[in-house]
């Protein structure tokens, strides 16, 4: 009974606060097939989400769609031209979705690597990453509803190396004249809870990532956070009802201390009561700290997930997944 009362009070508190600026979902499918003979066959190994599919999320009050894709498909040779067919697929989704009034966060879903070679190695120099972002920025800089996510979850590299690569990309974007919002992830899978970690991915993000600067100051940190035992988002069970807020608090304090802001670009939990409370607690924490948090994105949606336990795609009969109900108090009230 106490638990139900607490959940009701939490929902009521959220409902009386204005939603955060960004609420949305990561649409995953165009980055798939990287383990098959690459680049794969479009329509078989990978697809882009349809513009029409975004109407469902928009109807629920979401306004930001993060779309994953592969750097190697879009730019088959480093420092080379963008592939016309792949760019057309990306542009069809971006242009159609933004025409609906939604925003799109571009997500090269590459873990700071090109064909599994990490940026900063001789084979993939900083200049190659900067060149990729220069070309991509030139394609979309005239659309203010497009946001630039530098890369998904950097890993397996020194944090200092990633920061230098990120700075090169930011500089290249701004030299094109683009004023679009940039989202900057940290090293080590950019976990909010591991922002201060010093034992497994190198120098902590907290010590390094503040060095990356945007001359326009139109950049936010991008962090991801799950609530299962290892923070990977691969288990349907969450650690505790309170874990959502607990794993965000220290990073929130760091943002405030450093006068920076962030987007929680991946969160999720399995369809059970503990995860429901953990997710609601996390979203309430973001809302309570709206001075440093710009919004959140659920992981994941997209046309090819099937019965994946984190998929928010509606059921075949159009019914919402259980997790959509959890998000409702943190979305604009529908008429």
- State the DSSP string of 25-80: EEE-STT--TTSSTT--BTTTB-PPPTTTHHHHHHTT--EEEEEE-HHHH-SSTTS
271/294 Cα distance (integer angstroms): 25
Q: Tally Cβ neighbours within 10 Å of residue 283.
A: 29
238/91 Cα distance (integer angstroms): 37
Does residue 31 have an active-site annotation?
Answer: no
Q: Which pair of tokens denotes residue 321? A: 């997944």
Does residue 197 have an active-site annotation?
Answer: no
Q: Give SS3 for 241.
A: coil
The torsion angle over the Cα atoms of residues 225, 270, 301 and 255, rounded to 10 degrees, is: -20
Select which of 31, 153, 222, 276 is catalytic.
153
Q: Which of 37, 7, 49, 46 is nearest to 312 (CA)?
A: 49
Helix runs in the chain, H state only: 2-15, 54-59, 71-74, 84-99, 126-140, 159-175, 205-208, 243-258, 273-288, 322-327
Strands 22-27 and 146-149: unpaired
**CB contact at 8 A, 222 and 184:** yes
Select which of 31, 72, 222, 266 is catalytic.
266
**CB contact at 8 A, 161 and 119:** yes
Residues making up the chain, counted from first to last: 335
Positions marked catalytic: 153, 266
């Amino acid at each position: 009974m106490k638990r139900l009362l607490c959940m009701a009070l939490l929902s009521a508190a959220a409902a009386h606060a204005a939603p955060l600026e960004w609420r949305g979902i990561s649409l995953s499918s165009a980055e798939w097939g990287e383990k098959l003979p690459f680049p794969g066959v479009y329509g078989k190994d990978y697809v882009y989400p349809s513009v029409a599919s975004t109407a469902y999320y928009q109807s629920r009050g979401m306004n930001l769609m993060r779309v994953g894709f592969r750097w190697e498909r879009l730019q088959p040779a480093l420092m080379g031209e963008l592939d016309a067919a792949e760019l057309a697929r990306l542009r069809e989704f971006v242009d159609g979705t933004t025409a609906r009034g939604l925003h799109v966060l571009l997500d090269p879903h590459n873990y700071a690597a090109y064909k599994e070679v990490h940026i900063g190695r001789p084979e993939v120099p900083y200049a190659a990453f900067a060149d990729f972002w220069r070309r991509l920025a030139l394609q979309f800089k005239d659309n203010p509803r497009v946001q630039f996510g530098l890369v998904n979850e950097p890993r397996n590299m020194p944090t200092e190396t990633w920061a230098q690569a990120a700075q090169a990309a930011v500089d290249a974007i701004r030299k094109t004249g683009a004023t679009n919002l940039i989202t900057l992830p940290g090293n080590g899978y950019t976990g909010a809870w591991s922002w201060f970690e010093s034992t497994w991915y190198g120098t902590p993000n907290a010590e390094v990532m503040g060095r990356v600067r945007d001359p326009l100051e139109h950049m936010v940190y991008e962090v991801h956070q799950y609530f299962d035992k290892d923070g990977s988002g691969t288990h349907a069970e969450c650690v505790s009802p309170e874990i959502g807020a607990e794993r965000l608090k220290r990073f929130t304090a760091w943002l405030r201390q450093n006068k920076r802001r962030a987007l929680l670009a991946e969160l999720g939990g399995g369809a059970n009561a503990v995860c429901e409370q953990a997710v609601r607690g996390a979203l309430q924490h973001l809302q309570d700290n709206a001075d440093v948090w710009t919004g959140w994105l659920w992981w994941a949606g997209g046309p090819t997930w099937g019965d994946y336990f984190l998929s928010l795609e509606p059921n075949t009969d159009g019914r919402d997944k259980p997790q959509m109900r959890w998000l409702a108090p943190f979305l604009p009230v529908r008429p």
